[in-house]
Amino acid sequence: MENIDLQLFKNIMAEGRNNTDLLDSFSPNQFKAKQKLVDMIHNYVDINSETEIVIFGGWYGSILIPMFKDVKKITLIDIDKEVINIASNRLFNHYKNVEFRVQDVFEYNKLNQYRSANVFINTSCEHMAPMKDWPLWEWVLRKNNPYFAFTSNNMFGIEGHTNCVNNIEEFKKQLPDTSKVLTENEVIDERGSRYLLVGKI
Protein backbone atom coordinates (compact mmCIF):
# COMPACT_ATOMS: atom_id res chain seq x y z
CA MET A 1 0.00 0.00 0.00
CA GLU A 2 1.36 3.42 -0.93
CA ASN A 3 1.94 6.03 1.72
CA ILE A 4 -0.83 8.56 2.13
CA ASP A 5 0.15 12.07 1.07
CA LEU A 6 -0.80 13.86 4.28
CA GLN A 7 0.14 17.28 2.94
CA LEU A 8 -2.18 16.85 -0.04
CA PHE A 9 -4.93 15.65 2.27
CA LYS A 10 -4.53 18.75 4.45
CA ASN A 11 -4.54 20.99 1.37
CA ILE A 12 -7.75 19.39 0.09
CA MET A 13 -9.44 19.74 3.48
CA ALA A 14 -8.46 23.41 3.76
CA GLU A 15 -9.52 24.34 0.22
CA GLY A 16 -12.58 22.09 0.09
CA ARG A 17 -14.35 23.82 2.97
CA ASN A 18 -15.40 26.60 0.64
CA ASN A 19 -15.01 24.98 -2.77
CA THR A 20 -17.73 22.55 -3.82
CA ASP A 21 -16.26 22.42 -7.34
CA LEU A 22 -13.06 20.94 -5.92
CA LEU A 23 -15.04 18.41 -3.90
CA ASP A 24 -16.91 17.40 -7.06
CA SER A 25 -13.57 16.63 -8.69
CA PHE A 26 -13.09 13.96 -6.02
CA SER A 27 -16.58 12.47 -6.39
CA PRO A 28 -17.08 8.68 -6.44
CA ASN A 29 -17.97 8.83 -10.15
CA GLN A 30 -14.74 10.70 -10.90
CA PHE A 31 -12.73 8.18 -8.90
CA LYS A 32 -14.38 5.21 -10.54
CA ALA A 33 -13.73 6.37 -14.09
CA LYS A 34 -10.21 7.70 -13.52
CA GLN A 35 -9.10 4.64 -11.55
CA LYS A 36 -10.28 2.43 -14.40
CA LEU A 37 -8.41 4.60 -16.91
CA VAL A 38 -5.22 4.51 -14.85
CA ASP A 39 -5.45 0.72 -14.58
CA MET A 40 -5.84 0.51 -18.36
CA ILE A 41 -2.79 2.72 -18.85
CA HIS A 42 -0.65 0.62 -16.53
CA ASN A 43 -1.67 -2.55 -18.38
CA TYR A 44 -0.23 -1.25 -21.66
CA VAL A 45 2.30 1.46 -20.82
CA ASP A 46 5.52 1.21 -18.80
CA ILE A 47 5.01 4.08 -16.39
CA ASN A 48 8.27 4.78 -14.56
CA SER A 49 10.53 7.51 -13.19
CA GLU A 50 11.42 8.64 -16.73
CA THR A 51 7.82 8.95 -17.96
CA GLU A 52 6.50 12.35 -19.03
CA ILE A 53 2.75 12.95 -19.11
CA VAL A 54 0.68 15.75 -20.62
CA ILE A 55 -2.87 16.16 -19.31
CA PHE A 56 -5.32 18.12 -21.46
CA GLY A 57 -8.26 19.84 -19.76
CA GLY A 58 -7.01 18.56 -16.42
CA TRP A 59 -9.29 20.55 -14.09
CA TYR A 60 -7.59 20.47 -10.66
CA GLY A 61 -5.64 17.29 -11.43
CA SER A 62 -7.26 15.99 -8.26
CA ILE A 63 -7.06 12.26 -8.96
CA LEU A 64 -4.64 11.83 -11.84
CA ILE A 65 -1.70 13.77 -10.40
CA PRO A 66 -1.46 11.71 -7.17
CA MET A 67 -1.81 8.50 -9.18
CA PHE A 68 1.19 9.43 -11.35
CA LYS A 69 3.15 11.36 -8.73
CA ASP A 70 6.38 9.36 -9.23
CA VAL A 71 6.86 10.09 -12.94
CA LYS A 72 9.51 12.49 -14.23
CA LYS A 73 7.14 15.22 -15.38
CA ILE A 74 3.45 16.06 -15.52
CA THR A 75 2.23 19.04 -17.52
CA LEU A 76 -1.41 19.88 -16.82
CA ILE A 77 -3.18 22.31 -19.14
CA ASP A 78 -6.57 23.88 -18.47
CA ILE A 79 -8.29 27.00 -19.75
CA ASP A 80 -9.68 27.94 -16.30
CA LYS A 81 -7.24 30.38 -14.65
CA GLU A 82 -8.82 30.11 -11.19
CA VAL A 83 -8.70 26.31 -11.19
CA ILE A 84 -5.03 26.33 -12.21
CA ASN A 85 -4.26 28.92 -9.52
CA ILE A 86 -5.81 26.73 -6.83
CA ALA A 87 -4.17 23.54 -8.08
CA SER A 88 -0.70 25.01 -8.41
CA ASN A 89 -0.63 27.22 -5.31
CA ARG A 90 -2.90 25.51 -2.81
CA LEU A 91 -3.18 21.81 -3.67
CA PHE A 92 -0.01 20.57 -5.36
CA ASN A 93 2.47 23.28 -4.38
CA HIS A 94 4.65 20.57 -2.80
CA TYR A 95 4.85 18.56 -6.06
CA LYS A 96 8.05 19.57 -7.82
CA ASN A 97 7.49 17.52 -10.99
CA VAL A 98 4.19 19.13 -12.02
CA GLU A 99 3.81 22.18 -14.25
CA PHE A 100 0.44 23.90 -14.59
CA ARG A 101 -0.43 26.02 -17.62
CA VAL A 102 -3.46 28.23 -18.27
CA GLN A 103 -4.10 27.66 -21.95
CA ASP A 104 -6.66 26.58 -24.50
CA VAL A 105 -5.58 23.06 -25.47
CA PHE A 106 -6.23 23.88 -29.12
CA GLU A 107 -4.08 27.00 -29.02
CA TYR A 108 -1.21 26.57 -31.48
CA ASN A 109 1.61 26.52 -28.94
CA LYS A 110 4.56 24.21 -29.59
CA LEU A 111 5.48 23.26 -26.03
CA ASN A 112 8.62 21.17 -25.63
CA GLN A 113 6.64 18.92 -23.30
CA TYR A 114 4.48 17.81 -26.20
CA ARG A 115 7.43 16.30 -28.06
CA SER A 116 8.92 14.55 -25.04
CA ALA A 117 5.64 13.21 -23.64
CA ASN A 118 5.21 9.45 -23.36
CA VAL A 119 1.49 9.71 -22.63
CA PHE A 120 -1.22 12.23 -23.51
CA ILE A 121 -4.24 12.06 -21.19
CA ASN A 122 -7.55 13.80 -21.84
CA THR A 123 -10.46 12.99 -19.53
CA SER A 124 -12.36 16.04 -20.82
CA CYS A 125 -12.91 15.22 -24.49
CA GLU A 126 -16.58 16.12 -24.14
CA HIS A 127 -15.52 19.71 -23.38
CA MET A 128 -13.51 20.38 -26.54
CA ALA A 129 -13.11 19.68 -30.24
CA PRO A 130 -12.25 16.10 -31.31
CA MET A 131 -8.70 15.03 -30.57
CA LYS A 132 -8.11 14.30 -34.26
CA ASP A 133 -8.37 18.07 -34.82
CA TRP A 134 -5.61 18.98 -32.36
CA PRO A 135 -3.22 20.95 -34.60
CA LEU A 136 0.10 19.64 -33.34
CA TRP A 137 -0.06 15.85 -33.79
CA GLU A 138 2.01 15.90 -36.96
CA TRP A 139 4.66 18.04 -35.28
CA VAL A 140 4.75 15.72 -32.23
CA LEU A 141 4.94 12.57 -34.33
CA ARG A 142 8.06 13.77 -36.12
CA LYS A 143 9.95 13.09 -32.90
CA ASN A 144 7.83 10.77 -30.79
CA ASN A 145 5.00 8.23 -30.97
CA PRO A 146 3.29 8.60 -27.60
CA TYR A 147 0.46 6.68 -26.04
CA PHE A 148 -2.93 8.26 -25.44
CA ALA A 149 -5.63 7.81 -22.80
CA PHE A 150 -8.84 9.63 -23.66
CA THR A 151 -12.33 9.62 -22.17
CA SER A 152 -15.64 11.07 -23.28
CA ASN A 153 -19.27 10.42 -22.39
CA ASN A 154 -22.89 10.58 -23.52
CA MET A 155 -23.93 13.09 -20.85
CA PHE A 156 -25.30 15.67 -23.29
CA GLY A 157 -27.33 17.66 -20.77
CA ILE A 158 -24.44 18.89 -18.63
CA GLU A 159 -23.22 22.48 -18.97
CA GLY A 160 -19.98 22.72 -20.90
CA HIS A 161 -20.39 19.34 -22.60
CA THR A 162 -20.08 20.53 -26.18
CA ASN A 163 -18.75 17.33 -27.79
CA CYS A 164 -20.43 14.31 -26.24
CA VAL A 165 -20.71 11.02 -28.15
CA ASN A 166 -23.48 8.43 -28.26
CA ASN A 167 -21.22 5.38 -27.94
CA ILE A 168 -17.61 4.23 -27.92
CA GLU A 169 -17.52 3.61 -31.67
CA GLU A 170 -18.50 7.21 -32.29
CA PHE A 171 -15.75 8.25 -29.88
CA LYS A 172 -13.15 6.25 -31.84
CA LYS A 173 -13.97 8.30 -34.93
CA GLN A 174 -12.68 11.37 -33.09
CA LEU A 175 -9.18 9.92 -32.66
CA PRO A 176 -6.18 11.06 -34.71
CA ASP A 177 -5.86 9.12 -37.98
CA THR A 178 -2.65 7.42 -36.87
CA SER A 179 -4.17 6.09 -33.64
CA LYS A 180 -4.31 2.42 -32.73
CA VAL A 181 -6.65 1.52 -29.87
CA LEU A 182 -5.07 -1.02 -27.51
CA THR A 183 -7.87 -1.32 -24.98
CA GLU A 184 -11.30 0.17 -24.35
CA ASN A 185 -13.89 0.21 -21.60
CA GLU A 186 -17.14 1.77 -20.48
CA VAL A 187 -17.98 3.03 -17.00
CA ILE A 188 -21.64 3.60 -16.18
CA ASP A 189 -23.04 5.85 -13.48
CA GLU A 190 -26.45 7.37 -12.77
CA ARG A 191 -25.96 10.14 -15.37
CA GLY A 192 -24.83 8.03 -18.31
CA SER A 193 -21.78 6.24 -19.73
CA ARG A 194 -18.14 7.25 -19.83
CA TYR A 195 -16.09 5.83 -22.70
CA LEU A 196 -12.42 5.05 -22.12
CA LEU A 197 -9.80 4.49 -24.83
CA VAL A 198 -6.08 3.79 -24.42
CA GLY A 199 -3.76 3.32 -27.36
CA LYS A 200 -0.81 4.51 -29.40
CA ILE A 201 -0.77 7.64 -31.53
Q: Considering the entire predicted model, what is its pTM?
A: 0.94
The helix/strand/coil state of 184 is: strand
**Class of the CATH-defined domain 6-200:** alpha beta
- Domain boundaries along the sequence of the chain: 6-200
Nearest Cα residue to 150 out of 12, 37, 1, 10:
37
pLDDT digits (tens, 9 = 90+) for 18-69: 899 898 888 899 899 999 999 999 999 999 999 999 999 999 999 999 999 9
For residue 67, the SS3 value is helix
**Whole-number Å distance between alpha carbons of 67 and 72:** 13
Sheet of strand 73-78: strand arrangement: 98-102, 73-78, 52-56, 119-122, 147-153, 192-200, 180-189
Residue-wise pLDDT for 155-190, tens only, equals: 998 998 999 999 999 999 999 999 999 999 999 998
Q: What is the rounded distance in angstroms from the CA atom of residue 24 to the CA atom of residue 20?
A: 6
Instruction: Please tell me the distance from the alpha carbon of residue 3 to that of residue 16, in angstroms, as a whole number.
Output: 22
